[in-house]
Homo-oligomer: A and B are copies of this chain.
Amino acid sequence: MSNTFGKFLRVTTFGESHSKAVGAVLDGVPPLMPLSEGDIQVQLDRRRPGQSAFSSPRKEQDTISILSGVENGTTLGTPLALLAYNKDQRPKDYSSTTDIPRPSHADYTYKKKYGITASSGGGRASARETLARVAAGAVAEKILSHFYSVEIVAWVNSIGTITAPDIDMNSITRTMVDAHPTRCPEPATSKEMERVLLAAKEKSDSLGGVVNCVVRNVPAGWGEPVFDKLGALLGHAMLSIPATKGFEIGSGFQGTKMPGSKHNDQFVLKGSELGTLTNRSGGIQGGISNGEPIHFRVAFKATPTIAHPQKTVDYQGNEVILQTKGRHDPCVVYRAVPVVESMAALVLADLALAQRMVTGQ
């Protein structure tokens, strides 16, 4: 069941890092919506590795095909199959190294779960799996923008110990984010991040960071009480992204230090609707959107793949020094930006459909 996400807009993904292809089937897309492969490709291109000086200079092209569900540029209401072939699909002979589970990777746990793991690369645990999320998420974004004018923007807020000052959530755009190779829209912070990234790369080490995200124009009333609160679904979605270790909505962990009299968001009249003066709730009250911008933060650990030699043991328990070859990206946080946006889109489009059932005729 683990490979399906969503209850009403349902995405099912497939594909290992070295299988023939990776992809997704997206069921529940409303009919009569304009959609082309270009709508999807733009986000896939933002996710693609090897786009900056501190990244490995790979030249992968992930070209998405829509195999079904769209005809003459219009959705039919039937499931969309989205497919990207893997370039090098022959599992390599890693027999010499597959006896050593990589520290803080999924090698050991997959072996314990299934009794077998993909013979090379990370299999389903590979970051390559996120390609399918982004493809499906781009369609979810189209649903949100086409029917509801919802906007989603994520950016890098910190890398290692370098943290950006507050970003204005009402005006931030993807163009502003993409103007910097770190995807941190604050120029000075971005420069400093580039410096530590290059330093980490030189030391064959890696860095983590935090991605912030804002969702604007969500109408009041989306989200379900009790188990599928909007914040709970967003948390589920974000914490399902590889390498995540934490999630905060609105005031988050810092907010726990404020007394109720300071933390509560005062209601005020905004045009013809109620709004709030502050937004410590992060746009969500009782699990349901209140019309204010939804904003949250996602923690990513440093990627565990490092060229640095590591003391560890093999599957038999013998002590070994593991040193992996090849050039690795020192950080994946900027590539996670479209993944965060995509998972947010999948959650919100699902809840948009859910709300149609409550209010529909």
Contacts of A224 in B (CB 8 A): 1-2
Give bound CA distance, A10 to B5, whole Å: 13
Q: Which of B113, B200, B303 contacts A358 (CB 8 A)?
A: B113
Given known A-B contacts A245-B248, A290-B109, A306-B264, A91 and B67 have beta carbons under 8 A apart: no
The minimal Cβ–Cβ distance linking A267 to chain B, given in whole angstroms, is 5
Which one of A12-20, A164-172, A183-191 is at the interface? A12-20
**Taking the complex as formed, is A274 at the interface, i.e. its CB lies under 8 A from any CB of chain B?**
yes
Give bound CA distance, A30 to B359, whole Å: 8
Given known A-B contacts A76-B118, A114-B358, A125-B286, A250 and B257 have beta carbons under 8 A apart: no
Which one of A45-53, A173-181, A310-318 is at the interface? A310-318
Contacts of A302 in B (CB 8 A): 256, 258-260, 263
Contacts of A264 in B (CB 8 A): 103-104, 304, 306, 310
Q: How many copies does the complex hold?
A: 4
Give bound CA distance, A303 to B353, whole Å: 31
Q: Is the CB of B23 within 8 A of A81?
A: yes
Give bound CA distance, A5 to B224, whole Å: 12
Contact code string A239-264 (vs B, CB < 8 Å = 1, else 0): 11010111111111101111111011
Contacts of A250 in B (CB 8 A): 245
Contacts of A308 in B (CB 8 A): 260-261
Give bound CA distance, A324 to B322, whole Å: 63
The minimal Cβ–Cβ distance linking A257 to chain B, given in whole angstroms, is 5
**Taking the complex as formed, is A115 at the interface, i.e. its CB lies under 8 A from any CB of chain B?**
yes
Give bound CA distance, A115 to B209, whole Å: 41
**Taking the complex as formed, is A338 at the interface, i.e. its CB lies under 8 A from any CB of chain B?**
no
Contacts of A222 in B (CB 8 A): 113
Instruction: List residues 1-56 of chain A with CB under 8 A from any CB of chain B.
Output: 1-5, 7-8, 10, 12-16, 19-23, 25, 27-28, 30-32
Give chain A's interface residue range (CB within 8 Å of chain B): 35 or more
Q: Is the CB of A358 within 8 A of B77?
A: yes
Q: Which of B2, B14, B112, B261 contacts A220 (CB 8 A)?
A: B112
Contacts of A19 in B (CB 8 A): 67-69, 71
Give bound CA distance, A285 to B291, whole Å: 37
The chain B residue sitting closest to A75, CB to CB, is B116
Give bound CA distance, A27 to B7, whole Å: 14
Give bound CA distance, A303 to B264, whole Å: 9
**Taking the complex as formed, is A182 at the interface, i.e. its CB lies under 8 A from any CB of chain B?**
no
The minimal Cβ–Cβ distance linking A341 to chain B, given in whole angstroms, is 17
**Taking the complex as formed, is A205 at the interface, i.e. its CB lies under 8 A from any CB of chain B?**
yes
The minimal Cβ–Cβ distance linking A322 to chain B, given in whole angstroms, is 9
Q: Is the CB of B312 within 8 A of A226?
A: no
Q: Is the CB of A226 within 8 A of B240?
A: yes
Give bound CA distance, A287 to B161, whole Å: 26
The minimal Cβ–Cβ distance linking A201 to chain B, given in whole angstroms, is 11
The chain B residue sitting closest to A70, CB to CB, is B19
Q: Is the CB of B245 within 8 A of A158?
A: no
The minimal Cβ–Cβ distance linking A278 to chain B, given in whole angstroms, is 10
Question: Which 4 pairs of residues, A with B, have the shortest CB-CB distance?
Answer: A106-B286, A356-B360, A2-B224, A206-B260
Give 17 A-B contacts (CB < 8 Å), ordered by A residue. A14-B78, A16-B71, A20-B67, A71-B118, A110-B286, A205-B259, A208-B255, A226-B240, A227-B236, A228-B240, A239-B249, A248-B299, A255-B301, A261-B306, A264-B306, A266-B312, A268-B313
